Structure 1
């Protein structure tokens, strides 16, 4: 029976697809081994439109040869919570599927690398900067929707930064991004002060500035996020205003990992980035 393809169901299905492909099985072969009469059942599970009950998991573990206990527990957790309402559903009307998928992924990620020459990442934003970004993007035109989206972003930020175990965040910020006067000079001064506070006070947040003098760099192709997870494949997320692309093919992920490593090398170290950030604070003052 079809069910709502929630982010957790999609992630559970994606994990089973990854394992099946690693075994070299077609969907038809997997269906036969699992005892299903039609490959469509496996297809629906992998798409997240058919649920898997937690009582069924031991059978999947046996057939797919899943012996890693950490992976088993991750799959149990996804199945157990597949139909639970997510906290962001309280913000109905301002959260669409791509954003819901992103929020779900970050919730279960262990590490996040961010490169975005257009805006400071939401997890690192001040409320005033976040409001200016949302207003400037014109994605939301109704005042109440703008306020609710900013509230959602700040709640997400608090949930992630305060969680245990912590999410390890690594951000490379182009100098031009920090000189873009989003919200005005006072907002930018406070935003950069916030970045300095995070860099100094949160051992799980690593911030590097990519200076103008770096010239052409590995991130010229555009913004992306690289997420790592305790189990399963890493994921690359490429987002635009109304679309989101998730890549988990090993070759594609490795290409972006190389790009992230090169950006880290091209950028100033976190220690060397602090004087530049402080100089920008003085300029904005």
Structure 2
């Protein structure tokens, strides 16, 4: 059983891939079980993420499924090796929802992250003051200690793009830039931080302008993750009031990958986005003087 008594994101990703390759090879679960001299129940548990296969089992199954690509095999073997790996976020497991832990695990594994956010500045770009304001101002009443803990988690998450240099692309609706949700001064400091962080080679920030029309309202905020060099979207998370949902089916991923491309094409370029943000900051400074 994966750590924590529930399927981990890594074990689910591995299981989903093994099921897909088995089906592509036109084999059923009993036939796959024969390959590793085990039971259909074990294959079922492996494919659902409830059980973690050993590396040798992964190799035997991929051989039987005709999967020869060394990159694919290496990636799945790594998932088998590290599916129980304890991430830093488990220090906070007692205080965080399991679905949020799944999101962080995806973020930590990803080699490319893309986000669309129509309302707030994404967490990976938030300053400490902005994060404190939006967390404390949410619909759930939190005491100062809980807010502080969640802000620390958000700061730890930011290491993926600020320290590890993972390629990160964010698209924000102009509303998230124009309308302060965290106090005027905090908002201005947040926008200044976006301008600074956007200068990094691995980070791209685009603004979807009001002039685009209904597109912003048609697509809810989401995060898309890629785990190999081809940068295909391999997992998507969406947040609502009570939870985060992880989507991994091929049909869902194709829709969100297409939606992100559509939003990116409609948004201003990173350079024009920076000019828009800088212009708003200048306007507010002039109004305040």
Which residue matches 2:276?
Answer: 276
The answer for the alignment partner of 2:264 in structure 1 is 264
Q: Is the 8 A contact 1:14 1:47 kept in 2?
A: yes
Match of 2:218 in 1: 220
Q: Secondary structure at the residue paired with 1:137?
A: coil
How far, CA to CA, are the matches of 1:13 and 1:103 in structure 2?
A: 19
Change (3 A) 1:247 1:219: farther
* CA distance 1:184–1:88, shift in 2 (3 Å): same
CA drift of 1:97 comes to 1.5
The residue aligned with 1:82 is 83
CA-CA distance at 1:44 after TM superposition: 0.9
Q: Would you say 1:204 and 2:202 are equivalent positions?
A: yes
2:27 maps to 25
CA contact (8 A) 2:11 2:49 kept: yes
Task: Give 1:134 shift.
Answer: 0.8
What are the Cα deviations for residues 128-179 of structure 1, in whole angstroms up to 9, with x where unaligned? 111111111144512211111110110110234311xx32211111111112
SS in structure 1 of the partner of residue 60 of structure 2 = helix
1:103 is aligned to 104
Aligned counterparts of 1:98 and 1:114: Cα–Cα separation in 2:
17
Displacement of 1:273: 1.3
Q: Distance in 2 between matches of 1:159 and 1:168?
A: 9
Q: Give 1:246's aligned residue.
A: 246
- Partner in structure 1 of residue 181 of structure 2: 182
Residue 253 of structure 1 deviates from its aligned partner by 1.9
Q: Where does the alignment leave 5 or more consecutive residues of structure 1 unmatched? A: none
TM-score by length of structure 1 reads: 0.89
Q: Please say if residues 119 and 177 of structure 1, whose CA atoms lie closer than 8 Å, have aligned partners that are also in contact.
A: yes
Quick check: 1:168 aligned with 2:170? Answer: no
Aligned counterparts, 1:15-164, within 5 A: 15-37=17-39, 39-139=40-140, 141-163=142-164
User: How far is 1:275 from its partner?
Assistant: 1.7
The one-character-per-residue Cα deviations of 1:41-76 (angstroms, maximum 9, x if unpaired) are: 112112222122234333223223332222222222
Count of matched residue positions in the alignment of Structure 1 and Structure 2: 281
Q: Over the residues paired in the alignment, what is the CA RMSD in angstroms?
A: 2.2
With normalisation by structure 2, the TM-score equals 0.88
Determine whether 1:13 maps to 2:12.
no
| Residues 21-45 of structure 1 deviation map (CA, whole Å, 9 limit, x = unaligned) | 33343334433444333x2211211
Shift of 1:218: 5.9
Name the CA distance, whole Å, in 2 between partners of 1:187 and 1:120. 12
Aligned 8 A contact 2:118 2:216 in 1: no
Per-residue deviation at 1:208?
1.0
Partners of 1:172 and 1:207 within 8 A in 2 = yes
